[in-house]
């Protein structure tokens, strides 16, 4: 019995030692400012996010949290937002539950905001194409809103020749619009003259008088939504994406949105981000100050690299934004507007459709996805043309390779037996 007591006490002492050591390590990590989730390449959030109920393999799930976003040290107030906007538009300091509901206390009724008449917003247009949606007889099935900068001429030209080519699917009809702000200084003036010449040639650029920066991506997206609501309200669907993306427009239109079916309403989908907490690390690129967003968790939002929504939501989201203080994280902010509208983003049919990371290319994989991130214009041209020339037998070679490998393994096993 005494031996058992001594043995038990020894194990207890070891356990207490290990617990104290673990506590000391946690203390050191906390003091050093290194978040405990550092092993996960998560951009937003203070908790490990929950994946949507999709059947991903482990490696794909790990890669799914990668973002490629222009670095930002700390958040500063947007110089383009007027003092009247800062005073008149405030973020609702309500609690956001895990389900993504946002409680608000405003003097303006919910219905009144949604029915309010639209204006072009606080920033005047430098370049506008108000007649673009009415050039054809029928309203477009899809409007592509592509966030870009003045200097990204190659990227825009590559998109015009590939997934943004408006003549590829004439029976359905879609239009592309590049969204721009403006740059300052002498270089900005030179770029502006080039952008205006490009606009006269292609008629697919809209630009407002705000500083084109990472912090103002929210303003840029709202400009696009406002444009759709004012000049293209009958569009069935809208996609917002970036200029370094590969978008399989054909798969998006015919497999996800389905022109043969009645257009959906209050529909929003993409790479769903659910259960993310604000990043409170002041040294982070994605720092969210508590005074700007006091909630413990963000509502469900979709990665800003590419999301799709029904045309009716363009005006609803923009009108809702008029009473919610602007945040610099564009995709999070759109998610907050959706939560205010009590609209939960719809998970895509499978988790491989919308990718905010770079998917290794094969014609088989790319014929069954919608977005892939991080493309140079030359790569975009190369892979798009390869996919188009192989789309009718995109997976045949893949199946042949798999069958060949399986046959080789079987032959090797038979040889080993003999």
In this prediction, residue 211 carries a pLDDT of: 97
Residue 382 phi, psi dihedral angles, 5° rounding = -60, -50
Mean pLDDT for 376-403 is 82
- Over residues 324-337, the pLDDT tens digits come to 999 999 999 999 99
The answer to whether residue 310 scores a pLDDT higher than 90 is yes
CA-wise closest residue to 273 among 300, 295, 240, 296: 300
Q: Copy the structure tokens of residue 174.
A: 């879609």
Q: Copy the structure tokens of residue 412.
A: 């090797």
In this prediction, residue 409 carries a pLDDT of: 59
- Over residues 114-166, the pLDDT tens digits come to 666 788 889 999 999 999 998 877 899 999 999 999 999 999 999 999 999 99
Confidence of residue 312 (pLDDT cuts 50, 70, 90): very high
The answer to whether residue 196 scores a pLDDT higher than 80 is yes
The answer to whether residue 382 scores a pLDDT higher than 90 is yes
In this prediction, residue 57 carries a pLDDT of: 35
The CATH class for the domain spanning 83-396 reads alpha beta
In this prediction, residue 153 carries a pLDDT of: 98
To the question of pTM greater than 0.95 for the whole model, the response is no
More confident position, 104 or 225: 225
Choice among 78-92, 216-230, 294-308, 350-364 with the minimum mean pLDDT: 78-92
- Over residues 198-244, the pLDDT tens digits come to 999 999 999 999 999 999 999 999 999 999 999 999 999 999 999 99
- Over residues 41-56, the pLDDT tens digits come to 334 443 333 333 333 3
In this prediction, residue 97 carries a pLDDT of: 32
Confidence of residue 418 (pLDDT cuts 50, 70, 90): low
Mean pLDDT for 304-312 is 97
Mean pLDDT for 358-374 is 95
More confident position, 271 or 17: 271
The answer to whether residue 58 scores a pLDDT higher than 50 is no
Choice among 114-128, 277-291, 387-401 with the minimum mean pLDDT: 387-401
Most confident stretch, 6-15, 75-84, 287-296, 300-309:
300-309
Confidence of residue 397 (pLDDT cuts 50, 70, 90): low
Calculate the CA 151 to chain-centre distance.
22
More confident position, 25 or 258: 258
What is the domain partition of the chain in residue ranges? 83-396
The answer to whether residue 25 scores a pLDDT higher than 60 is no
The order of strands in the sheet holding 301-310 is: 125-127, 205-211, 174-182, 142-147, 237-242, 301-310, 268-273
CA-wise closest residue to 246 among 108, 356, 84, 120: 356
In this prediction, residue 159 carries a pLDDT of: 98
The answer to whether residue 168 scores a pLDDT higher than 90 is no
Mean pLDDT of the chain: 78
The answer to whether residue 31 scores a pLDDT higher than 60 is no
In this prediction, residue 392 carries a pLDDT of: 83
Cα–Cα distance measured from residue 145 to residue 138, given in angstroms and rounded to the nearest whole number: 19
Q: What percent of the chain has pLDDT over 70?
A: 67
More confident position, 255 or 73: 255
Cα–Cα distance measured from residue 210 to residue 371, given in angstroms and rounded to the nearest whole number: 28
The answer to whether residue 384 scores a pLDDT higher than 70 is yes
The set of long-range contacts for 374-378, using a CB threshold of 8 Å and a minimum separation of 24, is: 374/68, 374/244, 375/244, 375/245, 375/246, 376/244, 377/154, 377/155, 377/157, 377/158, 378/158
Q: Break the chain down into helix, strand, coil percent, rounded to 5.
A: 40, 15, 45
Choice among 97-111, 200-214, 241-255, 308-322 with the minimum mean pLDDT: 97-111
């Amino acid at each position: 019995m005494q031996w058992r007591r001594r043995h038990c006490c020894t194990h207890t002492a070891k356990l207490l030692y290990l617990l104290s050591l673990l506590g000391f390590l946690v203390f050191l990590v906390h003091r050093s400012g290194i978040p405990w989730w550092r092993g996960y390449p998560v951009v937003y959030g203070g908790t490990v996010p929950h994946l949507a109920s999709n059947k991903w393999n482990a490696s794909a799930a790990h890669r799914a949290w990668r973002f490629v976003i222009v670095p930002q040290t700390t958040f500063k107030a947007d110089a383009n937002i007027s003092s009247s906007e800062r005073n008149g538009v405030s973020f609702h300091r309500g609690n956001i539950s895990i389900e993504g509901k946002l409680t608000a206390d405003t003097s303006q009724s919910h219905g009144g905001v949604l029915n309010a008449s639209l204006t072009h917003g606080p920033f005047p247009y430098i370049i506008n194409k108000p007649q673009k949606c009415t050039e054809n007889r029928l309203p477009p099935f899809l409007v592509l809103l592509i966030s870009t900068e003045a200097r990204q001429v190659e990227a825009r030209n590559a998109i015009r020749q590939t997934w943004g080519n408006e003549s590829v699917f004439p029976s359905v009809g879609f239009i592309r619009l590049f969204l721009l702000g403006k740059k300052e200084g002498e270089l900005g003036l030179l770029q502006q003259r080039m952008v205006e010449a490009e606009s006269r040639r292609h008629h697919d650029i809209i630009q407002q008088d705000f500083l084109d920066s990472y912090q103002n991506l929210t303003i840029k997206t709202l400009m696009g939504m406002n444009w759709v609501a004012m000049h293209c309200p009958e569009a069935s669907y809208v996609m917002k994406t970036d200029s370094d993306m590969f978008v399989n427009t054909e798969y998006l239109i015919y497999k996800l949105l389905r022109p043969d079916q009645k257009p959906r309403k209050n529909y929003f989908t993409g790479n769903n981000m659910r259960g993310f907490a604000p990043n409170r690390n002041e040294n982070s690129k994605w720092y969210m100050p508590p005074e700007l967003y006091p909630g413990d968790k963000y509502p469900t939002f979709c990665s800003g690299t590419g999301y799709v929504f029904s045309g009716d939501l363009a005006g609803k989201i923009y009108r809702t934004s008029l009473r919610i203080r602007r945040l610099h994280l564009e995709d999070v902010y759109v998610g907050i507007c959706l939560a205010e509208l009590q609209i939960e983003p719809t998970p895509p049919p499978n988790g491989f459709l919308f990718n905010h990371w770079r998917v290794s290319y094969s014609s088989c994989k790319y014929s069954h996805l919608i977005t892939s991130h991080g493309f140079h214009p030359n790569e975009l041209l190369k892979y798009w043309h390869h996919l188009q020339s192989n789309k009718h037998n995109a997976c045949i070679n893949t199946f042949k390779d798999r069958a060949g490998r399986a046959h080789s393994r079987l032959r090797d096993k038979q040889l080993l037996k003999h």
